[in-house]
Amino acid sequence: MNGNWFPWSEGVNGNKSGEFVAAWRHVHDVFTAVGATNATWVWCPNVNWYGSFENFKGVSGQYPGDAYVDWTGLDGYNWGTNPSRSGQWQTFNQLYRSSYRYLTETVAPNKPLMIGEVASSEYGGSKATWIKEMLAQVPTEYPKIRALLWFDKYDSSMDWPIETSSTAASAFAQGISNPVYPRGTFSSFSATTIAPLG
């Protein structure tokens, strides 16, 4: 909702302030009215990037409220210097730290957080080191993060998949071997809201 590249973002496509929250609550209320219990509501803005944190602070006015959200989330990518898009190399901390703190301390301190989309380019630095550092930092420096999804797809000429190099794939395999990252735990979902482990 804070990405002007999406048609539902406030301020584009004729969308006015407050309409995102009203739409979210309306859809949530429809699910509740028909007795649906197999939906998990994840409110997930894009991270603050390249020092634009003043713009990111506006997401607090787009939060539907604790009664309408099960998880918060963040999406963010290290675009690096990939020639298909102008950008610069950013560490996981540079991408996520300020947004994480704002969501977990100000917007929704009682909600678990997931990384809804994350990936790194190979251009401009070491993707393997980026992955290694991210997987080491999440459990120690970001305790509210309870789920993480890697965007494993070639998209818009970007080299997002883990397997773009053997070193990146090895770093990911080694990083998730840490027991803090459970395996197979969610292989049999029940028809209820998904809660974080522990």
**What digits encode the pLDDT tens for the residues 95-134?**
999 999 999 999 999 999 999 999 999 999 999 999 999 9
Closest CA to 69 of 103, 18, 98: 103
Instruction: Give the residue extent of every domain in the chain.
Output: 43-176
Range 43-176 classified under CATH 3.30.43.10:
no
Question: With 70 as the cut, is the pLDDT of residue 61 above it?
Answer: yes
Q: What's the pLDDT score for residue 147?
A: 93
- pLDDT given for residue 195 in this prediction: 80
pLDDT-derived band at 50, boundaries 50, 70, 90: low
Query: What is 104-158 written as a DSSP string?
Result: IIII-TTS-EEEEEEEE-STTS-HHHHHHHHHHHHHHH-TTEEEEEE--S-BTTB
pTM of the model: 0.90
Q: Which two tokens stand for residue 32?
A: 């509740």
Q: Which residue has the higher pLDDT, 74 or 53?
A: 74
